[in-house]
């Protein structure tokens, strides 16, 4: 089989149609990602366009060239629209058909219709514009950690550049000895073969992006607290243990905080759960803004949160905790038009070695949080051996009193959900 345009036409039609149906089948399995259906239709439109191109000489030029190009431009526009949908942006109907409409109108202009080079330059420019616009849409969504975005961006940019340069490159390449210059052009053969490779590659990359998006959402749902958008208990404990293991060979001072909103149950009772949820969201936002990107922060459940600050001194841990406490109090003076004035109590433990695991550090931070609640809430306490022993003595006294049936001396206790 010779690698020429006449051979590539039927192969391209077959490949485009199969890829389009494959993408539509993949979309039918998971209709949540509508962009896949758009990409599938784009391949089917390209198959229809190439079919019309293949009828050159047997039908009118309007059908085999003008209409075929209009459908091809629409196919690239549909791919671009799919990329916008993929990142939750609105479709722009006017721009979707702008390229095809401009082409059909221009083809009615005598000077444009008679100039082959101008027609090639305009058609290349339209395809390049849509292709680069697609690459740009994927670039805009790069904050989502999908590895497949990057080869898609590269291939789309390279494909658009090749189309844009086909006119000057075509002028430099010799034609083949034949009566039909259009189909005998060496450059057209190279371009057609590149387009075939591109359409196969980009279809599988886009399919991989959709699959990666689904897997990422499932992973996010399992590890992210849906209300606040921060790590949930599972993710925090998992990432915290992994971080402590990594620094076992080179121990650095690490601070672990337990943060518990004061009197949160009364906030829900007085103002309703909608305001309570907004208070939790505000706390997550305020705390995240006070922490570094390398620090871990998560919601353990209810109104209890935790943070792990690596390579952090006692002084800095205290400063961060105080910043969270004061900033949160200021941010919740008024919530949804209601005077809430929520506060938080914080317990901290500082570890200077890698002996203790995260559970042990959280247990020690809980001792400090217990003391903060005892001393009136809305304060920060750091765990110490004296504090831990004092709590142990209190627990022993309460146990003896319970067993002996005697009343123990009154001692303040940490209020649950308070």
The per-residue pLDDT for range 313-332, each reduced to its tens digit, is 899 999 999 999 999 999 99
In angstroms, rounded to a whole number, what is the distance separating the alpha carbons of residues 19 and 38?
12
pLDDT number for residue 43: 97
Task: State both tokens at 350.
Answer: 């500082």
User: Which residues pair with residue 298 across a beta bridge?
Assistant: 231, 306
What phi and psi values does residue 159 have, to the nearest 5 degrees?
-65, -45
Q: Does the pLDDT of residue 302 top 80, yes or no?
A: yes
Q: What is the mean pLDDT of the chain?
A: 85
Helix axes of 186-223 and 35-54: crossing angle, nearest 10 degrees: 170
Domain ranges of the chain: 5-223, 233-404
The H or E element that residue 300 is part of is strand 296-301
- Can you state the angle between helices 233-246 and 358-374, rounded to 10 degrees? 120
Cα 41 from Cα 154, distance rounded (Å): 22
The pLDDT confidence band at residue 382, using thresholds 50, 70 and 90, is very high
381: left (phi over 0), alpha (psi -120 to 50) or beta: beta
Q: Domain 233-404 sits in which CATH superfamily? A: Reverse transcriptase/Diguanylate cyclase domain (3.30.70.270)
Reported as a single tens digit per residue, the pLDDT across 105-129 is 999 888 887 888 788 889 989 999 9
Answer whether 344's CB lies under 8 Å from 374's CB: no
The average pLDDT across 161-165 equals 82
Going by the DSSP 8-state scheme, the letter that residue 65 receives in this structure is: I
Q: Is the pTM of this model over 0.85?
A: no
Tell me what the mean pLDDT of segment 142-159 comes to. 93
Tell me, what's the pLDDT at 61? Answer: 87
Q: What are phi and psi of 228, to 5 degrees?
A: -95, -20
Tens digits of per-residue pLDDT, 175-218? Answer: 444 444 444 455 566 667 778 889 999 999 999 999 999 888 88
Contacts 24+ apart (CB under 8 A), 182-190: 182/56, 183/5, 183/6, 183/56, 184/5, 188/5, 189/3, 189/4, 189/5, 189/8
What's phi and psi for 341, nearest 5 deg?
55, 55
Reported as a single tens digit per residue, the pLDDT across 11-39 is: 889 999 999 999 999 999 988 899 999 99
Q: What DSSP state is assigned to residue 227?
A: T
Provide, rounded to the nearest whole percent, the portion of the chain with pLDDT above 90.
58
Q: Which residues on neighbouring strands pair with residue 351, listed in sequence order?
A: 254
Check residue 387 and give its pLDDT.
Answer: 54
Quote the CA–CA distance of 144 and 146 in Å, as a whole number. 6
Tens of pLDDT, residue by residue over 394-411, are: 655 565 666 565 444 443
pLDDT tens digit sequence for 62-100: 999 999 999 999 999 999 999 999 999 999 999 999 999
- Judge contact between 336 and 275, C-beta under 8 A: yes
pLDDT value of residue 187: 59
Predicted confidence at residue 413, as pLDDT, reads 38
pLDDT in tens, 218-237: 887 788 898 998 999 999 99
The confidence score (pLDDT) of residue 194 equals: 79
Phi, psi dihedral angles at 356 (to 5 degrees)? -85, 140
Mean pLDDT computed over 40-44: 97
Q: How confident is the model over 45-52, as a mean pLDDT?
A: 94
Question: What kind and span of H or E run contains 257?
Answer: strand 254-261
């Amino acid at each position: 089989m010779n690698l020429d345009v006449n051979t590539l036409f039927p192969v391209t039609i077959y490949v485009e149609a199969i890829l389009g149906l494959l993408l539509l089948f993949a979309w039918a399995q998971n209709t949540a990602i509508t962009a896949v259906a758009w990409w599938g239709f784009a391949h089917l439109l390209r198959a229809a366009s190439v079919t019309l191109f293949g009828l050159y000489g047997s039908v009118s030029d309007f059908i085999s060239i003008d209409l075929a190009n209009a459908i091809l431009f629409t196919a690239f526009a549909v791919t671009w629209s799919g990329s916008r949908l993929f990142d939750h942006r609105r479709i722009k109907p006017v721009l979707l058909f702008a390229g095809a409409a401009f082409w059909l109108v221009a083809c009615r202009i005598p000077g444009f219709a008679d100039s082959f080079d101008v027609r090639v330059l305009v058609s290349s420019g339209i395809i390049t514009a849509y292709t680069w616009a697609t690459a740009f849409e994927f670039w805009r969504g790069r904050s989502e950690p999908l590895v497949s975005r990057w080869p898609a961006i590269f291939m789309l940019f390279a494909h658009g550049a090749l189309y844009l340069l086909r006119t000057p490159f075509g002028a430099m390449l010799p034609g083949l000895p034949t009566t039909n210059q259009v189909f005998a052009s060496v450059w057209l053969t190279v371009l057609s073969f590149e387009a075939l490779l591109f359409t196969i590659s980009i279809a599988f990359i886009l399919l991989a992006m959709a699959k990666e998006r689904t897997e990422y959402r499932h992973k996010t749902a399992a590890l992210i607290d849906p209300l606040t958008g921060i790590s949930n208990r599972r993710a925090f404990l998992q990432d915290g243990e992994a971080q402590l293991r990594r620094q076992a060979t080179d121990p650095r001072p690490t601070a672990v905080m337990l943060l518990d909103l004061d009197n949160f149950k009364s906030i829900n009772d007085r103002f309703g759960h909608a305001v309570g949820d907004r208070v939790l969201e505000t706390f997550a936002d305020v705390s995240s803004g006070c922490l570094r990107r390398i620090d871990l922060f998560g919601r353990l459940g209810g109104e209890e949160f935790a943070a792990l600050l690596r390579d952090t001194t006692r002084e800095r841990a205290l400063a961060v905790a105080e910043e969270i406490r004061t900033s949160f109090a200021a941010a919740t003076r008024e919530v949804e038009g209601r005077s809430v004035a929520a506060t938080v109590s914080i317990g901290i433990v500082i570890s200077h070695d890698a002996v203790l695991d995260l559970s042990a550090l959280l247990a020690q931070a809980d001792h400090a949080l217990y003391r903060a609640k005892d001393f009136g809430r809305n304060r920060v306490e750091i765990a110490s051996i004296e504090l831990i022993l004092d709590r142990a003595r209190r627990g022993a006294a309460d146990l003896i009193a319970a067993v002996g049936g005697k009343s123990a001396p009154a001692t303040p206790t940490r209020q649950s959900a308070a």
